[in-house]
């Protein structure tokens, strides 16, 4: 059996990605950190759609705990075909106003954890000629000075460079690597006060972002690699 691992999958976007993958009848490995009940509910949703789904707990707050999770994942799910790096932390603040601790935490969850998982799962991904989707943020293609969420954007910019580099490196193994970058989502914590401030007058539905992730992991998306595709409704154009 070939598995698709989705990190941060108990709630929000990760949960919706799992549901849509299940509709494609992909076997889903649902990662959670503390929300076991919610993860079990998502697994049941996936099974009710005729898919195979299992949950797995993991903490990405340190390199050691991330590697421990990766080893457990390899042991439990022998053939991992796809990886969706959805888990991530967010922080608002300028570069100087963000503590070094927060900088370190953001880079650990948003960059080092995805990198560690990719490196550990690479033998399986090569064997299955699989796919990787990293979840980014709107605007990473247009690098401008940022004083609103500097550390967060910096970590996602690093993830974007990793995405492009891996796409080139792994293309000979037929592994495709892409980034999907949402703008304002329906569950974003810092929505504008008025929806009219957004170009389309609304946020993105989680289902819209999940649909793109699932397309990139479908047979139709296997020749797409090294791309960052925004689901942002024109934000930051």
pTM of the model: 0.96
Domains recognised in the chain with CATH numbers: 2-231 (3.40.50.720)
* pLDDT of amino acid 34: 96
Is the Cβ–Cβ distance between 120 and 68 less than 8 Å?
Answer: no
Determine which helix (DSSP H) or strand (DSSP E) holds 43, and give its type and residue range: helix 36-48
pLDDT, tens digit, 9 for 90 and up, residues 99-128: 999 999 999 999 999 999 999 999 999 999
Low-confidence ranges of the chain (pLDDT < 50): none
Is the Cβ–Cβ distance between 9 and 42 less than 8 Å?
Answer: yes
Query: What percent of the chain shows pLDDT beyond 70?
Result: 100
Residue 151 CB neighbours (<10 A): 26
- Determine the Cα–Cα distance for residues 237 and 232; give it in Å rounded to an integer: 9
* pLDDT of amino acid 8: 97
Is the Cβ–Cβ distance between 82 and 1 less than 8 Å?
Answer: no
* pLDDT of amino acid 193: 81
* pLDDT of amino acid 192: 85
3-state SS assignment for residue 215? helix
CB burial of residue 81 (10 Å; 0-12, 13-18, 19+):
buried
- Determine the Cα–Cα distance for residues 116 and 82; give it in Å rounded to an integer: 15
Sheet holding 27-32, edge to edge: 53-57, 27-32, 2-6, 79-85, 131-135, 176-182, 228-231
* pLDDT of amino acid 189: 85
Q: Pick from 129, 154, 146: which is nearest to 219 by CA?
A: 129
DSSP state of 205: P
* pLDDT of amino acid 190: 85
* pLDDT of amino acid 115: 98
């Amino acid at each position: 059996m070939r598995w698709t691992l989705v990190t941060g999958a108990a709630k929000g976007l990760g949960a919706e990605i799992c549901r849509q993958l299940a509709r494609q009848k992909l076997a889903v490995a649902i990662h959670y950190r503390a929300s076991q009940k919610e993860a079990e509910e998502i697994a049941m949703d996936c099974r009710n759609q005729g898919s195979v789904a299992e949950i797995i707990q993991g903490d990405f707050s340190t390199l050691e705990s991330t590697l421990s999770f990766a080893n457990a994942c390899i042991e439990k799910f022998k053939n991992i075909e796809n990886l969706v790096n959805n888990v991530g932390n967010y922080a608002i603040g300028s570069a100087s106003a963000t503590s070094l601790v927060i900088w370190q935490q953001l880079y650990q969850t948003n960059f080092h954890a995805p990198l560690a998982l990719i490196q550990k799962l690479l033998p399986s991904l090569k064997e299955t000629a699989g796919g990787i989707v990293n979840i980014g943020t709107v605007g990473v293609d247009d690098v401008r000075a940022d004083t609103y969420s500097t550390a967060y954007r910096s970590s996602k910019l690093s993830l974007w460079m990793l995405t492009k580099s891996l796409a080139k490196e792994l293309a000979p193994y037929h592994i495709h690597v892409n980034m999907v970058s949402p703008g304002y989502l329906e569950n974003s914590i810092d929505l504008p006060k008025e929806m009219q401030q957004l170009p389309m007058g609304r946020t993105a539905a989680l289902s819209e972002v999940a649909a793109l992730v699932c397309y990139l992991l479908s047979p139709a998306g296997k020749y797409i690699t090294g791309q960052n595709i925004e689901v942002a409704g024109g934000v930051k154009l």
